[in-house]
């Protein structure tokens, strides 16, 4: 199968970083023959428009007192209002969420009603951990491609102020037999330890991780100060409680977590966060955050019929499995699979939006694939912006396509992220420039 062949070549002993034989083996999710290059263009599905909220610091930032339905309803309404689409034209809504009960099924329906979308429009949620927002998009694409509807809304949302990823109840009900199976047991490894595993196994030094983090902060600070994010952020009016318990109404338009003053020396003073003598710190890891994003998706012919703009075209998508104990390497295997489907190479891509769950894993993926650093997260990534779990994939689509649009020519971009329990996902987009 195409995907297996691509990953097998990519994972062959000695491919990048002097990797020892047998250190990583392919774990592919390949159900049936993969589409041949170019087949995704047969029924073009396009991104019409997308917006996100600013991203707040969890538990101490702008959205610490804001519920996820309020964040989600803001971007749902703003996207539809911007393109003047009657919400009754939506065929379905899919929302990515990780921490809410039932992946946020109740919360999403409430958000729909708060945004003025009628009861006749259905909604559901999906949880594929850190790729939930991208998975929501792909699910809507699938509904369009199979003829169920012509227009849908893909969203992602997370309030990490309200829900904690480390809550033991979030594990659900699993058999005690999982402790007898190495791979199943590895799914319990804390994410920070998987970062340490990547750093140790593939030789990603603390100095390199800190330098990557500084670069992310400085790129994001420049983007924020020059107004780059203005086109993608929908203002959120909300209330916040101060230390005295007084309620204050604010309008949030800027990301909380960007630190323009970040220096290599400053990061070097931080203690390891997950392991004694480790290299992963609070400064070179993604921030715990709150935020939401929404993307309007349509069959190209329907978008043209309704006079809707076309911000981007989906060219391919791939999701793969990797060892759970080094889950952060997922993008290094998902990206080649997606590019192969699109008939493109690393050199054809103008911008890579790779989620910075940890600097260790992001660096590994970039170096493994030989991606020029100037093409990676040109406006900063999750180390600076934050990583609201269910929102991130959708947020990356919005950020990527707006960046390609600013370049004013036909261009290609990739959205990718690692996924807890050992997976990676990637999608290839084209900005058509017409």
Q: What is the DSSP letter of 30?
A: -
The packing angle between helices 132-145 and 392-406, to 10°, is 80
Q: Which residue among 28, 130, 155, 391 is the active-site one?
A: 130
> Is 130 labeled as catalytic in the residue annotation?
yes
> Is 418 labeled as catalytic in the residue annotation?
yes
Q: Which residue among 28, 94, 155, 418 is the active-site one?
A: 418
Cα 358 off chain centre by: 13
* Token digits of residue 312: 């981007």
Alpha-carbon distance of 243 to 309, in angstroms, equals 45
Do 74 and 234 contact (CB within 8 A), yes or no?
A: yes
Judged by DSSP in three states, 352 sits in strand
Alpha-carbon distance of 356 to 354, in angstroms, equals 6
Count the residues in the chain. 434
Alpha-carbon distance of 126 to 139, in angstroms, equals 9
Task: Provide the pairing of β-strand 423-431 with 411-419.
Answer: antiparallel
Do 308 and 85 contact (CB within 8 A), yes or no?
A: yes
Radius of gyration of the chain from Cα atoms? Answer: 20
The packing angle between helices 68-83 and 105-114, to 10°, is 50
Do 202 and 364 contact (CB within 8 A), yes or no?
A: yes
Per-residue buried b or exposed e for 337-354, using 16+ beta carbons within 10 Å of the residue's own CB: bbbbbbbbeeeebbbbbb
What residues act catalytically? Answer: 130, 418
């Amino acid at each position: 199968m195409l995907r297996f062949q691509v990953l097998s070549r990519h994972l062959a002993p000695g491919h990048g970083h002097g990797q020892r034989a047998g250190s990583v083996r392919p774990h592919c999710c390949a159900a049936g023959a993969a589409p041949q290059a170019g087949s995704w263009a047969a029924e073009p599905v396009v991104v019409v428009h997308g917006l996100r909220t600013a991203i707040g610091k969890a538990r101490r930032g702008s959205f610490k007192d804001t519920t996820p339905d309020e964040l989600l309803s803001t971007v749902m309404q703003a996207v539809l209002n911007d393109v003047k689409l009657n919400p009754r034209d939506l065929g379905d809504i899919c929302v990515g969420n990780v921490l809410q009960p039932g992946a946020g099924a109740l919360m999403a329906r409430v958000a729909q009603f708060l945004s003025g979308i009628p009861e006749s429009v259905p909604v559901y949620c999906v949880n594929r951990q850190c790729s939930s927002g991208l998975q929501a998009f792909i699910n809507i694409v699938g509904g369009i491609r199979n003829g169920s509807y012509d227009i849908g809304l893909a969203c992602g949302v997370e309030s990490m102020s309200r829900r904690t990823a480390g809550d033991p109840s979030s594990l659900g009900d699993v058999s005690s037999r999982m402790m007898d199976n190495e791979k199943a047991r590895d799914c319990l490894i804390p994410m920070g330890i998987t970062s340490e595993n990547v750093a140790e196994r593939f030789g990603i030094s603390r100095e390199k991780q800190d330098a990557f983090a500084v670069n992310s902060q400085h790129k994001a600070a420049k983007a924020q100060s020059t107004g780059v994010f203005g086109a993608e952020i929908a203002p959120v009016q909300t209330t916040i409680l101060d230390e005295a318990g007084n309620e204050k109404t604010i309008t949030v338009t800027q990301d909380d977590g960007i630190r323009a003053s970040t220096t290599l020396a400053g990061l070097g003073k931080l203690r390891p966060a997950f392991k004694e003598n480790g290299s992963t710190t609070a400064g070179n890891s993604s921030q715990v955050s709150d935020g939401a994003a929404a993307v309007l998706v349509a069959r190209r012919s329907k978008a043209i019929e309704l006079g809707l703009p076309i911000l981007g075209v989906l060219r391919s998508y791939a999701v793969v499995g990797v060892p759970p104990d080094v889950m952060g390497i997922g993008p290094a295997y998902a990206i080649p699979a997606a590019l192969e489907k699109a008939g493109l190479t690393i050199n054809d891509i103008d911008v890579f939006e790779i989620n910075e769950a940890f600097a260790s894993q992001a660096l590994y993926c970039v170096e493994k694939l030989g991606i020029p650093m100037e093409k990676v997260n040109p406006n900063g990534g999750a180390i600076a912006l934050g990583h609201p779990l269910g929102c991130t994939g959708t947020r990356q689509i919005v950020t990527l396509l707006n960046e390609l649009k600013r370049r004013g020519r036909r261009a290609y971009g990739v959205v990718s992220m690692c996924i807890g329990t050992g997976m990676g996902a990637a999608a290839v987009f084209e900005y058509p420039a017409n």
